[in-house]
A and B are shown apart, each in its own frame.
Chain A
Amino acid sequence: MRKVLEVILLLLLLVFTHAKGTRYSPPGKPALTRCRSPEKETFTCWWEPGSDGGLPTTYALYYRKESSDTVNECPDYRTAGENSCFFNKNDTSIWVNYNITVVATNALGRTFSDPVDIDVVYIVKPNPPEQVAVTVMEDKGWPFIRVSWEPPHKADTRSGWITLMYEIRVKLEEENDWETHLAGQQKMFNIFSLRSGGTYLVQVRCKPDHGFWSEWSSSSYVKVPDYFHREKSVWILITVFCAFIFLIVTWLLHMNSRSLKHFILPPVPGPKIKGFDKQLLKNGKSEEVFSALVVSDFPPKSSNYEDLLVEYLEVYIPEEQELMLEKSMDLDVSCLKSEGSTSDSDSGRGSCDSHTLLMHKCDGVKEGRERQAEEARRHQKDWKEEASTYSNVDSSPDMSSGRVKTWPSVFSPLPRYSSNQQGSLETAKQHYLSDSLFRPSSTSSCHTQPGHGATEALGPSYWECGLSNKQPHLLHPQGQAQRQLQAHSDDNISSIGRKPTPAGLPSPALRSTEYVEVQRVNEEDMVLLQPVSGRCGDVEGYPQVPHGEDYSKVKGVDGDNMLLLQREVREETGNCDTPSTVATTQKPTTCIHSAMPVQGEAVLGVNGYVDTATVFTLPTY
C-alpha cells in the first residue's frame, strides 16, 4: 500500500511538473552586486538573485581567503538584510583577498554566480557624518553659517585606522543648485556670503583616503536673520542725499539757465546796422534804405559842437569886477550866442583851470585891476597885430558861483573890450568861427597875446581875468542880450540873466561860437570887434547862425605863415557897414583878404573854414 502511495505521489509530482510544464527551472544566476565595509573592520556583501525558476530557491555565499584553500560559508545572512552576507570583525581580514561566490539552489538545481575578489581596504564606504550642527554666527555684523559634525561612530579615526575627508554642500531652500565645499579632514566649516533672510540646507558626507564617498547626511535647516535693514538704511541715506543734491543742482541750473545758455550756446550775433531797416530792403526800395542810413546829425553842426566839448575853462570873477562891469554900458552883445550848454558842476574843476587856481591867478591880478584899461588897450593893440588871433571864447562866466566858464575858444569878445573905450566901433564884420577845444593846459596858461603884452607874467591869468572882467563890460550894455541869455540852459547863468545890471556876470555858458564882427579899425591900428548880430544893433537877435557870407573862407596860407582869408561877397543889407578890415593888411578890394598869423599849421575845415583853435596854438608863458 505504501508503495502504491509513493508511486501515486511521484506520479502526482510528475503530473504537477508536467502540468506546469517548462515553468520550473533551475534558479537563475545570482550576481553579487556590491560589498561594502563601513569602517574597514567589517564588511557586507549583497547579491541580486536571479530568476528563481518558479521554485523556492535558497542562496548561499561562499568565500575563500587567498591564503587558505578552505571554503567557508557566510557566517551571517540576517544582519545586513535580505540577500546579504555580513562579515564581522573576526571574519574580516585586511589586505587579504576574498573570493566570494553566491550559489542559488532550488529543487531543480544550483547556480553559481561569478566570483568576486575583494580586498576590504578598497571597499570602504563609511557612514554619513553624524551630529551635524549648523549655527548662525556673526562676524562684524555680517552673519555666516558654521557647520560642525562628527565622524560616523563606527569609523575609528582616533587611532588613525581610518582617515576621513569631508565634504559639505549648501543650498537655498527654494533653489535647486547645491554649492559644494571640500572640508578636508576638519570637522568644522564656515559658510559666508549669505542671503539675508534666506533658509539654507546643509549636508555633509565623508570618504576615506582610499574608498567610496558616504551618503549625504540628512539636511539641516538654518535660517539666516535679516541684516537687510542695515544694508538698506545705508542705501536709503545715500539715496536721500543724492536726491537732495540733485534738487539743489536743478535749482541752481534753473536760476542760471540764461547765463548757462549764453555760456554753452552763445548767441550768434547777427548783422545789425543802426538805422538799417530790413523791411525796406526787402521791399526793394534801396533809396529809402540808404537814406535811412544817413545820419542826420553828421557832420556835426557847429551848434551842437559845444556838446562835444568836455573841458571847461573856468574863470573866476571876483566881486570887484562886477562893479567894473557895471561901468561898461555900451557894448552891444546882443549877438552873443547862447547855446544850451551843459555845464556840469565839476567841469574843469579838477583840471588846471580850476576855480581855485583861477582864483589864485586872478587874485594876483587884482592888484593890476587899475591898469586894466591900459592893459586892455595894450591888449587891443596886440589884437590888432594878431588880427583876431583868437577865436570866440565862449565864456560862461558865472558870477553867482564865482567862476567863469570860458569855452576854450579864442576869445572873440575880447576885442570888444575896445568898446570900453567908449568909442564908436566901426562895425567890421569879421566873424571868426571857432569851434575849438581849448586845452586845459593852454587854458591854465591862458591865452595870452601871443608873444605880446607886457604883463607876461600875469598874462594868462590876467587875460583870463581880464576876459572875465571885460565880458561884463561887454555884456553890460546889453540887457537884452542878457535876457537872451536867460534862455540859456545853464543854471549858473540863469541868475546872471536876471540881473539887470552887468553885475550879473556875462553871458551864461556861451556856446562855442560867439561871433564877433570887426567893427572898425581905429586910428591906432586896433581892430575893434563887436559881437555879431543878425542885424546891427539888434539886441534881441537870437543866437545867430552865421550866414555864410559872414564867414571868412581861408584862401590859403602864404609863405609867412599868414592865413589868407577870403572874404565872400556879401550882400549889403545896408544895416551894417561891413567893411572888413584887418589891422595888418588893408586892401581895397572887395575881397578882402585877411591874414592871420598862423602859429601852427593851417588846418582847413571841411568847408574851407578854419578851425582856429587847432590852428592857433596859443603860446604859453
Chain B
Amino acid sequence: MDRVVLMLSVLSLGVSSQPITDGQRLFSIAVSRVQHLHLLAQRLFSDFESSLQTEEQRQLNKIFLQDFCNSDYIISPIDKHETQRSSVLKLLSISYRLVESWEFPSRSLAGGSAPRSQISPKLSELKTGIHLLIRANEDGAELFPDSSALQLAPYGDYYQSPGTDESLRRTYELLACFKKDMHKVETYLTVAKCRLSPEANCTL
C-alpha cells in the first residue's frame, strides 16, 4: 500500500512536473489545429454560399435565425467577460465537448471534395489533444461536471434524417454551425493558452 501511494505520487509528480513547457507546446499544437479546422470550415461555407442562388440565400437567412446548431445545448461563454471569468479547465472541457459533438456529424459533411473528408479525423486528433491538455491541467478537480456531455448521442441522429428539400438547408446549417463552433474552440484555447503562458503579454 505504501508502495502504491508512493508510485502514484511519483506519477502525479511526473505528470505535473513539467506543466508549463509541455502544456505550452500542446496548446500551441491544439491552437494551430483548431485554426486550420476553422479555416476549412470557413472555406466550405463560403463555397456553399457562393453556389447558392440569391433567392435561396434569402430563404436560408430567414430560416437560420432559428438557431439550429446541435451544440447549442453546450453552454459556453459568449462574450469576453464570461470567457475571462471561466477557468482554464472549464474552457478546455467546453472545447472538448464541442469538438466531440462534431466528431460524428462531420462525416455527413463529406461530399466529394477532399477537404471535407479530412475533417473527421482532424477532429478526432483535436479531441485527443484537448484531452491531453485537460489531463495536464486538471488539479484533481471534476473532470466532467456537466452531465450534458453524455447526452450527445441522441442528438447525433438529428442530422441524419433525410429530406431532399431540406438537404440544402441542412447543409447550410451544418456548415454555419461548424464554422462557428470551430471558432469558439479556437478562441477558448487561445485564451487558455495565454492565461497559462509565463509572459504577461500573450503575443502568440
A94 adjacent to B79 (CB under 8 Å): yes
Provide the residues of chain B in CB contact with A92, threshold 8 Å: 79
Q: How far is the CB of A32 from chain B (nearest CB, A)?
A: 13
Give the distance in Å from the alpha carbon of A96 to the alpha carbon of B195 in the complex. 24
A67 adjacent to B190 (CB under 8 Å): no
Q: How far is the CB of A94 from chain B (nearest CB, A)?
A: 5
Q: Secondary structure at chain A's binding surface: helix, strand, loop or mixed?
A: loop
Q: How far is the CB of B22 from chain A (nearest CB, A)?
A: 19
Instruction: Name the CB-closest residue of A to B183.
Output: A121
Provide the residues of chain B in CB contact with A97, threshold 8 Å: 64-65, 67
Provide the residues of chain B in CB contact with A158, threshold 8 Å: 194, 200-202
Q: Considering residues B35, B66, B84, B202, which has the most beta carbons from chain A within 10 angstroms of its beta carbon?
A: B202
Known pairs A158-B200, A159-B84, A185-B204; A95 contacts B195 (CB<8 A): no
Q: Considering residues A99, A119, A159, which has the most beta carbons from chain B within 10 angstroms of its beta carbon?
A: A159
Known pairs A117-B61, A186-B203; A156 contacts B80 (CB<8 A): yes
Provide the residues of chain B in CB contact with A41, threshold 8 Å: 79-80
Interface residues in B66-101 (C-beta closer than 8 Å to A): 66-67, 72, 76, 78-81, 83-84
Task: Encode contact with A along B162-198: 1 for CB under 8 Å, 0 otherwise.
Answer: 0000000000000000001001100100110111000
Other-chain residue from B65, B76, B80, B183 in contact with A161 (beta carbon distance below 8 A): B80
Interface residues in A64-121 (C-beta closer than 8 Å to B): 64, 66-67, 89, 92-97, 99, 115, 117, 119, 121
B80 adjacent to A40 (CB under 8 Å): yes
Provide the residues of chain A in CB contact with B80, threshold 8 Å: 40-41, 89, 94, 156, 159, 161
Other-chain residue from B42, B84, B193, B195 in contact with A210 (beta carbon distance below 8 A): B42
Provide the residues of chain A in CB contact with B183, threshold 8 Å: 95, 121, 210
Give the distance in Å from the alpha carbon of A332 to the alpha carbon of B38 in the complex. 146
Q: Is A220 an interface residue (CB 8 A)?
A: no
Provide the residues of chain A in CB contact with B78, threshold 8 Å: 93-96
Q: Considering residues B35, B38, B80, which has the most beta carbons from chain A within 10 angstroms of its beta carbon?
A: B80
Instruction: Name the CB-closest residue of B to A185.
Output: B203
Task: Encode contact with B along A111-142: 1 for CB under 8 Å, 0 otherwise.
Answer: 00001010101000000000000000000000
Instruction: Name the CB-closest residue of A to B184.
Output: A95
Other-chain residue from A66, A99, A157, A210 in contact with B201 (beta carbon distance below 8 A): A157
Give the distance in Å from the alpha carbon of A110 to the alpha carbon of B80 in the complex. 37
Give the distance in Å from the alpha carbon of A210 to the alpha carbon of B84 in the complex. 20
Q: Considering residues B78, B81, B191, B204, which has the most beta carbons from chain A within 10 angstroms of its beta carbon?
A: B78
Provide the residues of chain B in CB contact with A40, threshold 8 Å: 80
Q: Is A160 an interface residue (CB 8 A)?
A: yes
Give the distance in Å from the alpha carbon of A119 to the alpha carbon of B194 in the complex. 24
Interface residues in B130-148 (C-beta closer than 8 Å to A): none
A66 adjacent to B203 (CB under 8 Å): no
Give the distance in Å from the alpha carbon of A415 to the alpha carbon of B66 in the complex. 163
Q: Is A187 an interface residue (CB 8 A)?
A: yes
Provide the residues of chain B in CB contact with A148, threshold 8 Å: none
Give the distance in Å from the alpha carbon of A161 to the alpha carbon of B195 in the complex. 10
Q: How far is the CB of B127 from chain A (nearest CB, A)?
A: 20
Provide the residues of chain A in CB contact with B35, threshold 8 Å: 209
Provide the residues of chain B in CB contact with A67, threshold 8 Å: 67, 72
Give the distance in Å from the alpha carbon of A158 to the alpha carbon of B193 in the complex. 11
A66 adjacent to B79 (CB under 8 Å): no
Provide the residues of chain B in CB contact with A96, threshold 8 Å: 78
Q: Is A356 an interface residue (CB 8 A)?
A: no
A93 adjacent to B194 (CB under 8 Å): no
Give the distance in Å from the alpha carbon of A29 to the alpha carbon of B203 in the complex. 44
Give the distance in Å from the alpha carbon of A552 to the alpha carbon of B72 in the complex. 155
A161 adjacent to B180 (CB under 8 Å): no
B180 adjacent to A119 (CB under 8 Å): yes
Provide the residues of chain B in CB contact with A599, threshold 8 Å: none
Give the distance in Å from the alpha carbon of A210 to the alpha carbon of B61 in the complex. 21
Give the distance in Å from the alpha carbon of A99 to the alpha carbon of B187 in the complex. 23
Give the distance in Å from the alpha carbon of A160 to the alpha carbon of B187 in the complex. 8
Q: Is A163 an interface residue (CB 8 A)?
A: yes
B190 adjacent to A163 (CB under 8 Å): yes
Give the distance in Å from the alpha carbon of A580 to the alpha carbon of B153 in the complex. 164
Provide the residues of chain A in CB contact with B84, threshold 8 Å: 159
B64 adjacent to A160 (CB under 8 Å): no
B65 adjacent to A159 (CB under 8 Å): no
Q: How far is the CB of B104 from chain A (nearest CB, A)?
A: 21
B67 adjacent to A66 (CB under 8 Å): yes
Provide the residues of chain B in CB contact with A119, threshold 8 Å: 180
A64 adjacent to B38 (CB under 8 Å): no
Give the distance in Å from the alpha carbon of A89 to the alpha carbon of B82 in the complex. 11
Give the distance in Å from the alpha carbon of A159 to the alpha carbon of B193 in the complex. 9
Other-chain residue from B65, B81, B191 in contact with A64 (beta carbon distance below 8 A): B65
Q: How far is the CB of A158 from chain B (nearest CB, A)?
A: 5
Instruction: Name the CB-closest residue of A to B200.
Output: A158
Q: How far is the CB of B78 from chain A (nearest CB, A)?
A: 5
Instruction: Name the CB-closest residue of A to B186.
Output: A209
B61 adjacent to A159 (CB under 8 Å): no
Task: Encode contact with B along A153-193: 1 for CB under 8 Å, 0 otherwise.
Answer: 00011111101000000000000000000000111000000
A159 adjacent to B191 (CB under 8 Å): yes
Other-chain residue from B72, B81, B180, B190 in contact with A160 (beta carbon distance below 8 A): B190
A89 adjacent to B79 (CB under 8 Å): yes
B61 adjacent to A115 (CB under 8 Å): yes
Q: Considering residues A89, A160, A185, which has the most beta carbons from chain B within 10 angstroms of its beta carbon?
A: A160
Give the distance in Å from the alpha carbon of A163 to the alpha carbon of B197 in the complex. 15
Give the distance in Å from the alpha carbon of A210 to the alpha carbon of B180 in the complex. 12
B203 adjacent to A187 (CB under 8 Å): yes
Q: Which residues of B contact A (CB under 8 A)?
A: 35, 38, 42, 61, 64-67, 72, 76, 78-81, 83-84, 180, 183-184, 187, 190-191, 193-195, 200-204
Q: Which residues of A contact B (CB under 8 A)?
A: 40-41, 64, 66-67, 89, 92-97, 99, 115, 117, 119, 121, 156-161, 163, 185-187, 209-210
Would you list 21 pairs from A and B whose C-beta atoms are within 8 A, ordered by A residue?
A67-B67, A67-B72, A89-B79, A89-B81, A93-B79, A94-B187, A97-B67, A99-B65, A115-B61, A117-B64, A119-B180, A157-B202, A158-B194, A158-B202, A159-B80, A160-B190, A160-B195, A160-B202, A161-B187, A161-B190, A185-B203
Given contacts A163-B190, A185-B204, 17 further A-B contacts (CB under 8 A): A40-B80, A41-B79, A66-B65, A66-B67, A67-B72, A92-B79, A93-B78, A94-B78, A94-B79, A94-B80, A95-B180, A96-B78, A157-B203, A159-B84, A161-B83, A187-B203, A210-B42
Closest 7 CB pairs of A and B: A160-B194, A160-B190, A66-B67, A160-B191, A93-B78, A160-B202, A158-B201
